Amino acid sequence: MKQVIPLRRRLIDLPLIIFFSINLLFITYIVDIEQIIIPDPNNFSYPIWPLPFMVDIIHSYGRNFDPLLMARPTWWQVTIWIDALLFGPFYVVALYAFIKGKNWIRQVCFIYASVMVTNVTIILGEEIFGPYRTPQLWFVLLDNAPWFLMPLYLIARMWNNPQPFTQTLSSAETQVDFSDRRDGLTDVA
């Protein structure tokens, strides 16, 4: 019999939960939405969302560290739309699946991680070699590292186990009345 491993015993999932949360609450629907709503950061009116101080922070970062963010070429805008339309909903679903221990998220994680690593590799190629290269390479590389390394961590986490959130109970453990257990194990649906 398979049982969900409680989150408190899956501490290796906490970095991913934090990463998904930051992306959902800050990157996708503040930073990326700003770039969709404001196509030209040199000629715009402040939108309702993101708030003006958020727009100012994003633009300050772009002016000081990341000319690509300010240039917003077409291919860059495509990556932003992928983030808003695909990654944002993924983060919601992934947070639910990782917190509740739903194994069905495993295959989707491989797709997400592959696309994210591809996007970040292309973006970093521009940051290093392109016409919008950054004047602060080490800072921008370190700033973008989580979006390259966390998807690799996600792949490693999902790779060898087709059911990463469950464990097989021994025959003695399956004899226990699970309704009386207090350790957070729940039946896999």
Cα distance between residue 29 and residue 10, in whole Å: 28
- Portion of the chain with pLDDT greater than 90, in percent: 87
pLDDT mean over 22-46: 97
Question: Does residue 40 register a pLDDT over 80?
Answer: yes
Question: Does residue 103 register a pLDDT over 80?
Answer: yes
Question: Does residue 189 register a pLDDT over 50?
Answer: no
Cα distance between residue 115 and residue 122, in whole Å: 11
Helix (H, G, I), strand (E, B) or coil at 142: helix
pLDDT band at 106 (very low <50, low <70, confident <90, very high): very high
Instruction: Report the pLDDT value the prediction gives residue 169, as an integer from 0 to 100.
Output: 81
Cα 139 → chain centroid:
20
Question: Does residue 50 register a pLDDT over 60?
Answer: yes
Instruction: Report the pLDDT value the prediction gives residue 175, as an integer from 0 to 100.
Output: 52
What's the N-to-C CA distance of the chain in angstroms? 11
Instruction: Report the pLDDT value the prediction gives residue 171, as an integer from 0 to 100.
Output: 60
Instruction: Report the pLDDT value the prediction gives residue 1, as an integer from 0 to 100.
Output: 83
Instruction: Report the pLDDT value the prediction gives residue 60, as an integer from 0 to 100.
Output: 98
Mean of the per-residue pLDDT values for the chain? 92
Cα 160 → chain centroid:
21
Could you please report the per-residue DSSP string of 20-72?
HHHIIIIIIIIIIHHHHH-S-TTS----SSS-HHHHHHHHHHHHHT-HHHHH-
pLDDT digit string, tens, across residues 130-156: 999 999 999 999 999 999 999 999 999
pTM: 0.88
Cα distance between residue 64 and residue 134, in whole Å: 9
> Is the Cβ–Cβ distance between 136 and 64 less than 8 Å?
yes
184: left (phi over 0), alpha (psi -120 to 50) or beta: left
167: left (phi over 0), alpha (psi -120 to 50) or beta: beta
pLDDT mean over 156-174: 84
